Amino acid sequence: MAAVAAAALLAGPTYVVPQDQIRYVECVAERESHSNPKSTNRANGYFGMFQFNDALTDGSTWMMLDWLKTWHPRPREFAARLRATEMHKWPANLQIAAMVETLNHRGKWSGSKHWAGGRWTCTPGK
């Protein structure tokens, strides 16, 4: 029973994506990794479902802090542990939280520039 509780604490609760951003989040996940949270691209240093580099991964843990405070007893320590772990080793729901918190950090859709460009474009707001 303690192992189950510990695993749940590591993964956290399901992150609720705003309804009007679900299609965009799904598009980016499919575009970047075929929705594979364990995806790695060591050639360019991008990891996880949304292909975060180390700097964006670190920054996202600060952007997630308010959400982490809603469920984790030691959110700052947990965020520090996340920073020490490549994103493809995070549970999928934490990767989704990092993506959406980054996407909306300075206002709705403000972080969409992180996933702009390329030949397959996901359009914010659609």
Domain membership flag for residue 88 = yes
Instruction: Enumerate residues 6+ apart whose C-beta is below 8 A from 58.
Output: 83
SS3 of 52, please? Answer: strand
In the predicted model, is pLDDT for residue 15 greater than 90?
yes
The pLDDT of 74-99, averaged and rounded, is 97
Residue 85 lies in a domain: yes
- pLDDT category of residue 126 using cuts at 50, 70 and 90: low
Specify the range with the lowest mean pLDDT, choosing from 8-12, 55-59, 78-82, 115-119.
Answer: 8-12
Domain-embedded: residue 95:
yes
pLDDT the model gives residue 120: 81
Percent residues over pLDDT 70 in the chain = 91
Count of domains observed in the chain? 1
pLDDT at position 1 over 60: no
Q: Which tokens in the block code for residue 58?
A: 């670190």
Residue 11, domain extent: 2-115
pTM for the model stands at 0.90
Residue with tokens 């308010």: 66
**Is residue 67 one of the residues assigned to a domain?**
yes
